[in-house]
Amino acid sequence: MTRKLGYREAMREAMHEALASDPRVFLMGEDVGRYGGTYAFSKGFLDEFGPERIRDTPLSELAFVGAGIGAALGGLRPIVEVMTVNFSLLALDQIVNTAALYRHMSGGQFSVPLVIRMATGAGRQVAAQHSHSLEGWYAHIPGIKVLAPATVEDARGMLAPALADPDPVVIFEHAGLFNLEGEVPDDCTVDIAGAKVRRGGTAVSIITYGGSLPKALAAAETLAAEGVDAEVVDLRVLRPLDTATIVASVAKCRRAVIVDEGWRSGSLAAEVMARIMENAFFELDAPVARVCSEEVPIPYARHLEEAALPQPEKIVAAVKGLFA
């Protein structure tokens, strides 16, 4: 059986289930308690679970992410909410230089079972400082797992296995998806080990993740009406990348377009392209193409913001270019 659920409510349900089923789990971050969460993900949690398990923090990401690491080392299962991805830059030392390295630096004696959730992405007119897509930065770092739930089902099901992971997991929730609705199985079990084909096809593989998935699916529908059968692959797990699923899709379709809201230079799209070239070069009938954000700070003005970001029509144009 399935039921209809919103992305926002799916995340809230997942956290509620974790808090209710495991006393080691607690939530901490800015405005998660009395305010109910910046995006209402934790509304009502403070009254139900109390201030020991729903902890409002000072405006210091460096401090409270560090506190989450310490709690994880002490045997708890913290969910640390960072309001937006740009604020996570203030905690980079804790995430990259401590949490990601603790198992290695301790010779395997310690692990950090920590989950860090953060909103990411543009498209909401919140200007350049709050519109970053820095998932590729974190996907560069050994020692952490990086997830990007792009569907309601993944939003509902990814948290439990993330909390069960003995090492740090960073979950990027694209804010443009928060009003998305979808069907969710009653028993929502999600694999956080690999990519997933969201639409089967034979003519071109469109590979994407996060907030760009609905745009890729929209582009695939437009292409289908014009006789081009596009497959859409949702990466879902950005580290470690599921190279096998990527290569299998490209080998079948023989053309590929990578869609990434990150900037082109040094992007995750570039890494995906490199893996295709390393593993499926002789399967290709055309050069790999990519659609990324323009190399500018994301503008505030709606028309400029839309122009700077990947859009379905840009994806369609990139696919058509492979058949020219």
pTM: 0.96
Axis crossing angle, helix 243-253 with helix 268-280, rounded to the nearest 10 = 60
Q: What is the pLDDT of residue 1?
A: 85
Decide: 115 and 173 in contact? Cβ < 8 Å. no
Active site residue 61: yes
User: Fold match between 2-185 and 196-321?
Assistant: yes
Catalytic residue among 16, 130, 132, 174: 130
Q: Can you give the pLDDT of all 324 residues of the chain as single tens digits?
A: 889 999 999 999 999 999 999 999 999 999 999 999 998 899 999 999 999 999 999 999 999 999 999 999 999 999 999 999 999 999 999 999 999 999 999 999 999 999 999 999 999 999 999 999 999 999 999 999 999 999 999 999 999 999 999 999 999 999 999 999 999 988 888 989 999 999 999 999 999 999 999 999 999 999 999 999 999 999 999 999 999 999 999 999 999 999 999 999 999 999 999 999 999 999 999 999 999 999 999 999 999 999 999 999 999 999 999 998
Tell which residue, 295, 123, 323, 318, has the closest CA to residue 227: 323
Catalytic, out of 61, 173, 261, 305: 61
**How is the beta sheet containing 204-208 ordered, strand by strand?**
196-199, 230-234, 204-208, 256-263, 289-293
The CATH number assigned to the domain with range 2-185 reads 3.40.50.970
**HSE-up of residue 88 (Cα within 13 Å, Cβ side):** 23
CATH architecture label of 196-321: 3-Layer(aba) Sandwich (3.40)
Task: In whole angstroms, give the CA distance from residue 265 to residue 11.
Answer: 32
Domain parsing of the chain, residue ranges:
2-185, 196-321
278 catalytically annotated: no
